[in-house]
């Protein structure tokens, strides 16, 4: 009977090595962080089956007792599990994999019928399911609970959507980078464009270029390095060095990224403030010193980002697993930088509504050239500010990880499309389609 059960487990090995290990590997793909190895499906299956066979060979002389029924020995893609008496739970130290704390324990349950219990607990078979949830940090566990709340097939589809979204982001940020650099060249080259307003534009564009460059660097590094390391990358992999496994460089990259994003928001606020003052004061020149704008746009974000980075560093210093601030944007501490950005969106919305109100009143009263100039001056804002508000508002909404796939797809594609192509649209409206001379 035991021999038959082991053989049945061997026959199920191919399915086991694919499905159970993917449940663990998929945890590394949250927020678009891909870890798939660049090897053929046949090679991957062959390697996993070799490890599965080695696991069975390890327990071929296991001292079974006739008193109990046993679940078969099995390999789940990471750990080799011994034959386990029915009605008991087997546990092992978590594997040495990315984000996994080897001091914690993974476990799997053997049912009363001598078959491994599945994920839902109401099904049992030779394959079963390993609970790797305790291996991860609390924030990752919370994300996995949401993703796998409904159907496991839906969870896999959500991860695939996140992966495709990452490719779209790389294309969008690349186009934005090119458009922004061309715009900066145009603003700097033509003397007729050297005024207070274009100086504000240039500062906004520079902040966007910095954050786009950092994002592209991180995304490409993750795609290249992690694909070479493979699915079974460890916390202490020294063979290939990427940004994610280089201490201090990784954290510094994220700090600089959040600083650049906050600077971008502050210059969006300054854009809105400048246009609001121009329209409501009925003059085409705003009197505020550009030095005040620079201190606000570049200095204030430094203070906010500094406070956030210190608090975040203290949080991760208490973690038992060395990690590069993985999932920091899901922590409540992230609102230290996200809160002021949300405030900018709301203030810019107020500016936009007030600008539209004043402009409508002035257009009704007069048709002279000054009003025409004012109309041209705010034309870009009437198109741009709603776009920025929608983009940033959707990005600040919590991702619908739970629930239907189509809701997650709608949120993911719309949010990341607007964010990644944001620089392209800004350059298009403020520079390429701008009729001012």
| pTM, two decimal places | 0.76
Under-70 pLDDT residues of the chain: 1-41, 121-122, 124, 149-151, 226-240, 282-287, 320-322, 362-390, 435-437
Per-residue pLDDT tens digits for 248-274: 888 999 999 999 999 999 999 998 888
Query: Would you state the pLDDT for residue 240?
Result: 60
> HSE of 56 in the Cβ direction (CA atoms, 13 Å)?
19
Phi, psi of 129 (to 5 degrees): -145, 135
User: What's the whole-number average pLDDT of the chain?
Assistant: 78
- Sort 132 into a burial class: Cβ within 10 Å, 0-12 / 13-18 / 19+: buried
Query: Would you state the pLDDT for residue 127?
Result: 79
Token pair, residue 296, equals 């606000």
Q: From CA 60, how far away is CA 56, in angstroms rounded?
A: 6
Query: Would you state the pLDDT for residue 12?
Result: 34
Q: Which domains are delineated in the chain?
A: 2-136 (4.10.1240.10), 152-432 (1.20.1070.10)
Query: Would you state the pLDDT for residue 52?
Result: 86
CB 196 within 8 A of CB 290: yes
CB 207 within 8 A of CB 260: yes
Query: Would you state the pLDDT for residue 216?
Result: 93
Residues ≥6 apart with Cβ < 8 Å to 206 = 184
Residues ≥6 apart with Cβ < 8 Å to 172 = 416, 417, 419, 420, 421, 424
Query: Would you state the pLDDT for residue 330?
Result: 81
């Amino acid at each position: 009977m035991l021999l038959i059960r082991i053989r049945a487990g061997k026959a199920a090995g191919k399915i086991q090595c694919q499905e159970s290990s993917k449940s663990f590997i998929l945890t590394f793909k949250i927020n678009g962080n891909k870890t798939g190895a660049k090897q053929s499906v046949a090679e991957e299956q062959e390697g996993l089956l070799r490890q599965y066979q080695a696991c069975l060979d390890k327990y071929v002389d296991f001292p079974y007792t006739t008193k109990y029924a046993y679940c078969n020995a099995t390999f789940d893609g990471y750990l080799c599990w011994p034959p386990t008496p029915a009605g008991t739970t087997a546990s092992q130290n978590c594997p040495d994999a990315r984000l996994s704390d080897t001091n914690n324990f993974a476990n799997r349950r053997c049912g009363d019928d001598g078959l491994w219990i599945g994920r839902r607990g109401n099904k049992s078979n030779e394959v079963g399911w390993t609970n790797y949830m305790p291996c991860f940090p609390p924030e990752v566990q919370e994300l996995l609970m949401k993703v796998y709340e409904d159907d496991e097939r839906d969870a896999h589809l959500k991860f695939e959507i996140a992966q495709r979204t990452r490719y779209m982001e790389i294309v969008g940020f690349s186009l934005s980078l090119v458009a922004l650099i061309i715009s900066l060249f145009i603003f700097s080259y033509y003397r007729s464009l050297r005024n207070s307003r274009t100086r504000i534009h240039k500062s906004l564009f520079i902040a966007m270029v910095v954050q786009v460059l950092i994002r592209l660097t991180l995304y490409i590094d993750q795609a290249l390095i992690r694909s070479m390391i493979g699915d079974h990358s460890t916390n202490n992999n020294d063979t290939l060095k990427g940004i994610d496994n280089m201490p201090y460089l990784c954290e510094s990259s994220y700090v600089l990224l959040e600083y650049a994003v906050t600077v971008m928001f502050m210059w969006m606020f300054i854009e809105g403030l400048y246009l609001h003052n121009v329209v409501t004061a009925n003059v085409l020149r705003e009197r505020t010193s550009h030095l005040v704008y620079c201190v606000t746009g570049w200095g204030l974000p430094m203070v906010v980002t500094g406070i956030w980075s210190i608090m975040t560093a203290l949080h991760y210093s208490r973690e038992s697993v060395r990690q590069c601030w993985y999932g920091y944007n899901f922590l409540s501490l992230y609102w230290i930088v996200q809160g002021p950005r949300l405030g900018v969106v709301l203030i810019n919305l107020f500016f936009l509504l007030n600008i539209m109100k004043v402009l409508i009143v002035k257009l009704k009263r007069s048709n002279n050239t000054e009003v025409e100039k004012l109309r041209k001056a705010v034309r870009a804002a009437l198109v741009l500010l709603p776009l920025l508000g929608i983009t940033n508002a959707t990005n600040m909404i919590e991702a619908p990880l739970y629930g239907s796939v189509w809701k997650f797809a709608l949120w993911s594609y719309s949010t990341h499309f607007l964010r990644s192509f944001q620089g392209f649209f800004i350059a298009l409206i403020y520079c390429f389609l701008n009729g001012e001379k």
